Every structure is written in C-alpha cells, then in structure tokens.
Amino acid sequence: MQGPRAALGALLIIAITGMTAPAALSQDNSQDSGKPAAEPRCLMCHRETADEPVHAIFKTPHGQLDGGGAASCVSCHGASDDHQRGPTRNPPDVSFGPKWESPTADGNGACLTCHQKEEQMFWLGGVHEQEELACNDCHNAHTPRDPMLTADGQLDNCLSCHTRQQAQLRLPSRHPILEGKTACTDCHNPHGAATEAMLTAPTLNDNCYQCHQEKRGPFLWEHQPVNEDCSYCHNPHGSVQQNLLTARGPFQCQQCHSAAFHPSQVYDGRSTTSNSSNQYVLGKNCLNCHSQVHGSNHPSGARLMR
Amino acid sequence: MSERRRTPVFLALATAGAVAGNALAQEDSRPLATRWATDYTGFAEIGVGYVSDENFEFGEYNGLNEDEAFLIGNIDWSGSGDGSFWNLNGSNVGLDTREGQARWRNQRWDIYFEIDSQQQVRNNSGRTPFRGGDTLLLPEGWVSGINTSDFGALDASLRGFDQELDRDRYTLGVKAQLSSAWSLEGTLFYEEKQGDRDWGGAIFNNAAAGDAVILPRGVDFENTEFDLTLNYADGPLALTGSLFYSEFENGDDLLQWQNPYSNFGPNVRYPEGFGGLALEPDNEFYRARLTGTWIVSPTLRLQVDGSYGKTEQDQDFANFTVNPNLTVPGVLPRTSFDGEYETKVFDARVFWNPLRKLRLEGYFHGEERDNDVPRDGYQYVLGDAFPIPDSSGQLFNTQHSYSINTYGIEGSYPLPLRSKLWLTYEYEEIERDNAAVTESDEDRYKLRYRLPILSNLNMRVEALYGDRNADEYVWNQSYFARLDVERINNTPDSQRYLNHPLLSQYHIATRERVEGRMDLDWQPGADWNLALNLLYREDDYDESELGLTDEELESISFTASWFASDKLVLSGWLSSNSYESQQSGRAFRGGADKNAFEIFPPLPQASDPSRNWDVDVEDEAIALGLTVEWSPSERLELGATYSYQDTESDYEFGNGGAADLSDEPFAEDYESEMHHLILEGTWHFRDNLSLAVNYQYWNFDSEDWAISGVSQDSIGKVLSLGEQPADEDLHYIGTSIIYRWQ
C-alpha cells in the first residue's frame, strides 16, 4: 500500500510547512479589519450577565477576531459609532436581529469578508444566495458550537425548507441521514457549487463512490447505465422500494431489457404462484441470478451472473 | 432534535423528588440556556436504554436492533485559552454506532481525529443451509434434488443468517493557515466495511434451467483515502487545488458455493459441483481538481471547477469456471483486466450585471468518461455448467465512453411588486460509444417567478420544459458488438438482436419533460408559519413502443408551526408523494418466434402485437409528523413527536389478448405502515445536573408479495432465505443523567 505511506508523508509536509510559514496572521487580520481607532465599548453594555449568551462567542474563533474582546464585535458588526452613541436608538452598522436586522446582503457581506473562499467560494450566484438566504438563517456564531456544523443540526435546518425530503428520508429504504450518519453536506455544498444539485464531487457517480467505492470498477463486463448515472435506478433521498430503487424488479429491469424468453414475459399475479415463472418474480427477482448488476469481473460474467 | 440525539432519558420520580430541594438554589438571573452556553465547558451523559424486541427496521441504522439493555453514553468537552480551542466529544458509546472526535485549533492550525462506526441491519429473518466464508458448503447429510422441494434435509440444515454491515471509519485531518491568503490541508481516511448480506447465484445451462440460490455473502472491504488541498484567497480571487487518492481492497476475490441441486452431470451437480462468482475487484482512484472564483469587477465574476480523475483495476481473473473437470475450449485472453477510465469534468460560470437590475449568468458543464479497456473475446461458460464447445460461445467486452456538454444562459430581473423573474435556456448534447443511441441533444426552458403576494405571503413558481431528441435507435448495436462473428453468421437476419427492436432504453430515448413547482410561505401572524410545496413532473418517452413509456411524479407537502409562547411550540408536516410509471413489453420466445419482422400471418411471437403487455405501477407514500415542545418551567422540558407513514405499490396489468398472457394482479400489494411515537422529558434539577427520560413506541408492518409466505423451498428453482416482511411492534425506554461542568 503505497497510498497511506505517501499520505502520512504529505501530512508531515503540511506540518513542517505550517510551522515554518511566516507568523503574520494576526497582523494580516488587523490590517484588513478597518476597526476604529478608539477601543469599542461594546462590552460595557453587552455584559456577561446579559440574558442573551453574547459572550459565548469568546469560546469560539469568532471571538478572537482582531485580537478578541470588543474588537471582535466590530469585525462583524462594524464600527457602529451611532450605536455606541445611542445604543437604544441606533442599530449597529450590521445587525443580525432580532431587534434590528440589516439587509441580507449587508449581513452576509460581513461573513463573506472572511468566508468567500474554500467551500464558500461559490456562494455568490449560488442557489441559496439567489433565494436571498442570510448566513444567520442557518448559522449561529454566538454559540460554542454552531449546530449547522453537526449532521443533526444540518438536518433540522435543511428540512425546514426542503420539505419533500422530510418525507423521503423516512421511507422504508433510505440512507442513514436521520441518524446523523450521513450529513446533507456529505453530498451537497449548501454554499454553492458549479456542479449539478450543488454536489460536492464533480459528478453524481463520484459522489456515490465516496461511500460505495466497490462499484467504481472498471469491470470487465459493464452495465452501461450504471457507469453514467446512479440515479437512473436509485433515489438517493429514499424510496418505497428496497435498495433505494426507483422501481421494483423485474419491472425496473424490463424498462430496458426485452430479450427473447424470460426477460420479455409479463410477470403478473400468476407468476407468484406458478412454479414455472415465480423464480423471476419472488425473492430477489432478477437478482436471484443476475446479482452482478453493477458489473462483473468474471470471464464468464457477460450476463452479470458471475 | 434528531432521532439519534434523542438519547433517551428517564429518571425515577422518587429520585428526582429527593434532589428537588436543590433545584432552585441558583441566584443567577440569566436564563439557564445562557448560563450553559457561557459558563460551562462540557457535559457527560450516562444512563441505560432498553429495546423490547429484536428488529431490523427501527434499528436499521441506529444500533438499536437487538432486544437488550445498553449503555447510554455521550460526552462533549471544550476549552480555550491563548487563542487556541479544543474539543472532545463522543456519542452512542454503548452502541455499535458510536462516534467521537478530538480537535485542536488555533489561528494557524486545525488538527482533528475522528472515529465513526456505522451499522446497517437488513432483514434478519432469513435462514440458510450454507456454512463457511468465501467457500460455502452444505452440511453433512444434505439431500439434493431437481427442485428445492426435493431437498429432504433442508429444515434440519437451516441456520440463522443476520444481514448486518458494519463500517468503521477513521479520519485524521490537519489544516495549516500558512498566511492570510494561503492554507494547506490534508486528510487521511481509513475505512473497514465488514459483515454479511444476501447475494444471488445460479448454476445453469439455459435460462429455463437455472438452479439458483440466495447466498450468505461475506463483505470484507477496506478503503484508504488521502486528500491534499491548497487554498488561496486574496481579494477578488479564491482558488482551491486538491489531489485525492483512494484505494479500495476487497478481502474476497471469489465467492464459491456447493451446488445443492442434482441437475447436470457429476462434475456440476451435488456434491462435486460448485458455482463461483467474481466479487468486486480492487481498484484505485486518483483525482486532481481545481476550483476558483474571480470577482473581476462589481458587475462581473467568474467561477470554474475542473477535475481530472483516473480509475484503475488490474485484478487477476478467475478461471472460466470453478469446476475443474469441465472442459473449456480456449484460454483466457489475458490473466487480468488492466482496465482504466478517465473522468474529465469542467464547469464554468460567468455572472454579469450589464444593468443595475439585470443579472445574466452563462454556464457550461463538460463531462467525459473515457474508458480505455482492452477488448477481447471470452469463452462463455453457462453458469459453471455448460461450456459452449466452440468459438461461437465467445462474448466480447465493450468499452463504454461518453461525453456530456451543457450550455446554459439565465437572466433575472426584478419586476413590480417586489417580484423577480428568472428565465433559463439550456442546451445539452450527449455522445456515447457502444450504445444504441450515440448522439442525443436536449433543449430545456425554465421560468421561475418569485412574488411577495402580501407582506407575509410569498409565492414562488417554476416551470420547466425539456425536449430530448435521440438520434437513430440502433437496436442491434449490442448484438453485433458483443457476439462472435461465427454465431452472428449462423443466426438468421431477422433474429440478430438482443433486445426487441421496438424497445427503447429510457435513459437514451427521445423524451419530453414537463415540470412545475409552486411554493407558498405564509406567516399569518408573528406566531405562525405555514408552507405549501407542490411538485409535478411528467416524462413522456413518446417514441418508445416497448420499455418505459411514461413517468409521472406528484408531490405535495404542507408544514405548519405555531409558536404559542416561548414555552410552547407546536409543529407538523404532511406529505404525499406519488410516482406512476407505465411500461410495455412483448412476450416472445427464441428460434423462429424471435423473428421480429414478419408482416404476414401466422406471425411469429416477436412480430405479433397481440403479444404486447403493459403494466402501470404506482408508488404512493403518505407521511406526517407532529411535534409538541413544552417547557412548563425553565427547568423542565417536555416533548412529544409522532410520525406516521403509509406506503403502497400498486400494479395494474393490461395485455393485447394473447391466450397465454394475463392481466391478473398480484394477490397482495407491496405496502408498509409505520407509527413512531417519541415522548421525552428532561428535568434540570440543578444547573449542572439533569435527568432525562425517553420513551418510544414503534410499529412497522409490511406486506411484500415477493417474500410474504415464501419459504426457503417455495420457489422451485431458487433456494431462498425465506425471510419474511417486517412486522415490528416494540418499545424503547432510556433514562440518563447529564452532568455539566464549568
């Protein structure tokens, strides 16, 4: 296994590179922040004894921005001079509610100052940006752990709008999404992507292969639609039929296969009782024999039975 | 709260009462939630849970599939200091679905290690006579026969067979912020997937004489992955370049089973005969990917995402057959496959605001799968039973490559009444090698309109029309691509096809698509939130005579939330989804009846339209959920959730009137019904100590004509597992104590 050794080597390189990189991060941040010359007075009013858990942010990296303390407040909320002069009359420059709420673009702009990169680089123009979602519709910076960074928190948030998936995720055949074992973000990037359905991998099949590597092949005997698009046969969010199938065998197979003899026959109610044809309908239907539907690597596996 | 986190909780009321005296000892006037968020650094939960019955639906993924008591254990502990942060957490420690993470980070570093165990339990009610691992043997005294009903020692030979797959995943990640613009990150991931599942296998010399078995197949997979990513972001430009490597290893190459049947010759039948299946080959996957966004000006920006991937496998081939005494003419053309395919994907988007309100977007998606595999003829051994004695038995593997190019343009413009309109046109062309249709293209038109009807009522409608045109459908392409020339020459012209010439495979067929959506969001008051979501889609394969001809999807979802007070929240949702499909076939035999081109009576079966049949399938699912969250006091949280689901698959047959065809429906539908009730309560009798209880009632009942009442020997030519549909009625109770510290 060359791969793991190379991987460990590369992790070591990251460590060395990180340790030897110039230590200029804090200076870089302060240069860009545009904070006022005077020390902001946020924490004189927004005290630890307030009802709202404002100070919980200091348990997070957001509370350390620009050196932490009140300086971190203005790094997101702006200098807010008017608010400092008249705290009950004037809102902060950027406010996320509930009392005052800045326009979505302003609120998001505060976040994008730092986060318009990496996984968030496609936010502008993405579906959620076009729907005018605010960052704080999903995220909460003033908490030690943003719920959206957990699979469970994502589920609650995403399903509040994606109601069709609410029901699909509970169908008899499904992925372990309700259990938090598969997160929405394992497959989708809610911050936008250039890919279809904001998938994290470049193609739909690559997305599926992230967990189902054994189906990557290439196989000696390929099943052509399988290589193209898993969703020809599977519903990833859940299905009435087992194995997330869009339809049940033998009918699903017969949507594309009508060869002489048994593949062309009608499998109606008689075929569940007749011993001459129940082998094609009962049990695993076509897969009683053609179990290698994702491809076979056997020299005699042309019919996906080996 | 999701179901996994609903870590059950209950405590005896007597115990609770005994400590109640301390409950209000705190003087702090801040809300309890604020005190936890601000003052506390961690919690540990410990308790015991109990599941009343063994199951495989309730516990399919959550580890609660056994009728047993188990330990409830969760922990979360965070800290910070000197600009660094750390967190330790673990959950479900008493279950096979446990997971945990340790993480430390500061401005420069982010280092974490994760463990995640997953489990999938499938229908575990089946039994099998087979024993062993990758070579499955029948027990001593096995009585073979022509059909499963002849297996005299079957009942005495059966053993339980649990279908369970376990994944254990380990991830080590490091991220270094090299400067304000550059960061480098790497992830090392290792996974084991092990367990058993069912797998079909057959020994046969033709389709009518297949001796099939459902086997208990072991799964022994390993996957190792590495990802190295370099990020750059400075002002208007952000770039991410990554290298990804994945190595999949299958611990089993070949699954062999002893033939339980007595058909065929002594080299094939019980006890000497075996069947053999090649399992998934080891493979390696490499990918390089570059993504970037460039804000050229306030009115113009570019986005790109390009990747190159390569997948390889070179596993040694198995022999033509596992039965050594069968004489196979010819030799393997190669000892291993040495196959690879490349995947190239490029996405680009340009956003331009030529006017203040007008936004234009142009995009391109290019995808290519280039399958570079050697093509050879392989002698075909029918089901480890019958080697075709000459070269006419050769079959040729084919290369499947394709390319997709999609071009699109979208414009959006705000209209009066604060509404907004989007118009999209998209053109897609697909080319395939070795397919019945080598070229197809599709025009898609989409309209989206968002209108705030009232200040508290928003509507969004969307309509899509797609028109896909496939080039000539070459119905005999696969026949000529795969069969040996000698066999082709020995076959009459009228029978030179695999699939009937009137069949069109839907994924490459001409198609017309119509889709409509409507979403309504209404907040009739500050306390109410209502939403209605509708979806309709129809795919019409209007040039297909046989195969899938029509699909229709209808979905209605309604959600409502009522924030009665800050102590009481009620919410609910109702969803109805329906998927209908229509497909047709023509029943025909081989030989002279395979002639698909006769126009004068008597018509061979393949030419006879009266032998057409069709089936309409309708899958329906109705689901609802109701939740009440009530906090009569700050220190007591109560919740109740009820979920219901009803699914049904209905099949209606129609046929052209041939005497041996029937429109007889199945005696039973395929259906399921689920009720799930969760009652939970948590009493925070001190700031740092809570008692929790969780009770769940689960009822799942299903009918499935494919397995209901089907025992191991019900199917004459398939020795099945005899598993029965789920019929679960169980209770779950858990109680735990949660301790928090500062």
CB-CB under 8 Å, A8 with B2:
no
Q: In this predicted structure, what is the pLDDT of residue A271?
A: 87
Reported as a pLDDT band with limits 50, 70 and 90, residue B721 is very high
pLDDT in tens, B354-404: 999 999 999 999 999 999 889 999 988 888 998 877 778 899 999 899 999
- Per-residue model confidence (pLDDT) at position B26: 46
Optimal mutation site among B35, B283, B388, interface A, most CBs of chain A within 10 A: B283
Residue B20 has pLDDT above 80, yes or no: no
B288 near A CB under 8 A: no
Closest approach of chain B CAs to the CA of A196, in angstroms? Answer: 9
Q: Which residue has the tokens 């073979």?
A: B144
Q: B533–A164: do the CB atoms touch at under 8 Å?
A: yes
Flag if A247 and B379 touch (Cβ within 8 Å): no
pLDDT at residue B330, rounded to an integer = 82
Is residue B467 pLDDT above 70, yes or no? Answer: yes
List the one residue out of A2, A81, A9, A76 whose CA is nearest residue A40: A81
**Among chain B residues, CA nearest to A161:** B531
The pLDDT score that the predictor gives to residue B420 is 95
How far is the alpha carbon of B521 from chain A, nearest alpha carbon, in Å?
10
Between residues A30 and B659, the one the model is more confident about: B659
For B568-608, the pLDDT digits (tens) are 999 999 999 999 999 999 999 999 999 999 999 999 999 99
Q: What Cα–Cα distance (Å) separates residue A84 from each residue in A72, A89, A95?
A: 15, 10, 13
Nearest CA in chain A to B521: A161
- pLDDT at residue A2 tops 80: no
- Mean pLDDT across B183-200: 97
At A221-272, the pLDDT tens digits run 999 999 999 999 999 999 999 999 999 999 999 999 999 999 999 998 888 8
Provide the ipTM. Answer: 0.93
Strand partners, B198: B216
Residues B305/B289, Cβ–Cβ less than 8 Å: yes
Angle among Cα B380, B381, B386 to the nearest 5 degrees reads 135
Q: Quick check: B188 and A11 CB within 8 A?
A: yes
Residue B390: per-residue pLDDT: 78
Nearest-CB residue to B380 (from A60, A125, A302): A302
Min Cα–Cα distance to chain B from A129, Å: 13
What mean pLDDT comes out for the span B136-145?
96
Considering chain A, what percentage of its residues have pLDDT values greater than 70? 88
Residue in A closest to B247 by C-alpha = A3
For residues A206-222, give the mean pLDDT: 96
Reported as a pLDDT band with limits 50, 70 and 90, residue A23 is very low
Banded model confidence at residue A4, pLDDT cuts 50, 70, 90 = low
Determine the pLDDT at residue B407: 98
Distance from CA of B16 to the nearest CA of A (A): 27
Q: Which residues of A touch B395 (CB under 8 A)?
A: 302
Select from B493, B716, B605 the least CA-distant residue to A265.
B605
Q: Do A216 and B78 touch (CB under 8 A)?
A: no
Rg of chain A over all Cα atoms, to the nearest angstrom: 27
Structure tokens at A125: 């123009």
The candidate with the shortest Cα–Cα distance to B397, out of A233, A294, A303, is A303
Report CB contact under 8 Å: B109, A18.
yes
Looking at the DSSP bridge assignments, the partners of residue B573 are: B559, B625
- Band of pLDDT at residue A24, cut at 50, 70 and 90: very low
From the list B3, B176, B590, which residue is nearest A261 (CB)?
A: B590
pLDDT on residue B25? 43
- Candidates A196, A216, A247; nearest CB to B248: A216
Task: Please check the confidence at residue B8 and state whether its pLDDT lies above 80.
Answer: no
Of A206, A221, A283, the CB nearest to B707: A283
Distance between CA atoms of residues B618 and B344, nearest Å: 38
Can you tell me the distance from the alpha carbon of B581 to that of B116, in angstroms, rounded to the nearest whole number? 39
Q: Is the pLDDT assigned to residue B86 strictly greater than 90? A: yes
Across A189-200, average pLDDT: 94
Average pLDDT over residues B266-281: 94
Is the pTM higher than 0.80? The answer reads: yes
Whether pLDDT at A282 is above 70: yes
Q: Which two tokens stand for residue B153?
A: 């020692």
Within the 238-277 window of chain B, which residues sit less than 8 Å (CB to CB) from chain A? 238, 240, 245-248, 250, 276-277
Chain-centroid distance, C-alpha B32: 41
Q: Tell me, yes or no, if B349 comes closer than 8 A to chain A by beta carbon.
A: yes
Predicted local confidence at residue A128, as pLDDT: 95
CA B475 remoteness from chain centre = 31
The answer, yes or no, to whether residue B12 has pLDDT greater than 50, is: no
Closest-CA distance, A198 to chain B, in angstroms, reads: 12
Of B688 and B8, more confident: B688
Handedness of CA B709, B713, B715, B718 (dihedral sign): positive
Asked if A164 lies within 8 A of B710 by C-beta distance, the reply is: no
Which B residues in the span 709-728 are in contact with A, Cβ-Cβ below 8 Å? 710, 714-718, 720-721
Q: How far apart are CA B581 and CA B577, in angstroms?
A: 14
More confident residue, B728 or B325: B728
Which phi and psi (to 5°) does residue A285 adopt? 45, -125
Which residues on adjacent β-strands are paired with residue B470?
B440
- Mean pLDDT to the nearest integer, A119-145: 92
Q: What is the pLDDT of residue B7?
A: 42
**Tokens, residue B652:** 């209606």
Q: What are the φ and ψ backbone dihedral angles of A181, each rounded to 5 degrees?
A: -85, -25
Q: Which residue from A92, A96, A197 is spatially nearest to A141, judged by alpha carbons?
A: A96
- Do the bridges between strand B159-160 and strand B274-278 make them parallel or antiparallel, or are there none, so unpaired? unpaired
Tell me whether residues B305 and A283 touch, CB distance under 8 A.
no
Q: How far is A226 from chain B (nearest CA, A)?
A: 11
* Longest pairwise C-alpha distance within chain B: 98
Tell me what pLDDT residue A22 has: 54
Cα dihedral sign, A273-A277-A279-A280: negative
Q: Which amino acid is at A227?
A: N
User: What is the per-residue pLDDT for B669?
Assistant: 79
Q: What is the pLDDT of residue B188?
A: 98
Higher pLDDT, B560 or B526: B560
Report the pLDDT value the prediction gives residue B44, as an integer from 0 to 100. 97
Q: Say if B291 is an interface residue toward chain A (CB within 8 Å).
A: yes
| CA–CA min distance B635, chain A (Å) | 16
Asked if residue B587 lies in contact with residue B611, where contact means CB atoms within 8 angstroms, the answer is yes
State yes or no: pLDDT of A94 exceeds 90: yes
Measure in Å the smallest separation between the Cα of B283 and chain A Cα atoms.
Answer: 7
pLDDT band at B503 (very low <50, low <70, confident <90, very high): very high
Rounded Cα gap, residues A205 and B3, in angstroms: 29
pLDDT of residue A31: 41
Of A23, A61, A117, the CB nearest to B231: A117
- B117 CB near a chain A CB, below 8 Å? no
Q: Which of A197, A191, A189 is nearest to A125 (CA)?
A: A191
Query: Mean pLDDT over all residues of chain B?
Result: 93
Q: Categorize the per-residue pLDDT at B615 as very low, low, confident or very high, splitting at 50, 70 and 90.
A: very high
What does the pLDDT read at residue B17? 38
Q: Is B292 on the interface with A (CB under 8 A)?
A: yes
Of A216, A258, A283, the CB nearest to B585: A258
Residue type for position B247: E
Interchain CB contact of B588 with A (< 8 Å)? yes
CB contact (8 A) between residue B349 and residue A125: yes
pLDDT for B308 beyond 80: yes
A218 with B313: CB under 8 angstroms? Answer: yes
B16 vs A: CB within 8 A: no
- The token pair that represents B324 in the structure block: 């050594």
Residue A54 has pLDDT above 60, yes or no: yes
Number of helices (H), then strands (E), belonging to chain B: the values are 5, 36
The confidence score (pLDDT) of residue A8 equals 62
Task: Tell me which residue in B38, B183, B277 faces A298 most closely, judged by beta carbons.
Answer: B277
Which residue among A21, A166, A288 sits closest to B176, beta carbon to beta carbon?
A21
Among B712, B716, B715, B735, smallest CA distance to B724 is for: B712
Respond yes or no on whether the N-terminal peptide bond of residue B216 is cis (omega within 30° of 0). Answer: no
Residues paired with B274 in a beta bridge: B258
Task: Give the per-residue pLDDT at B451.
Answer: 95
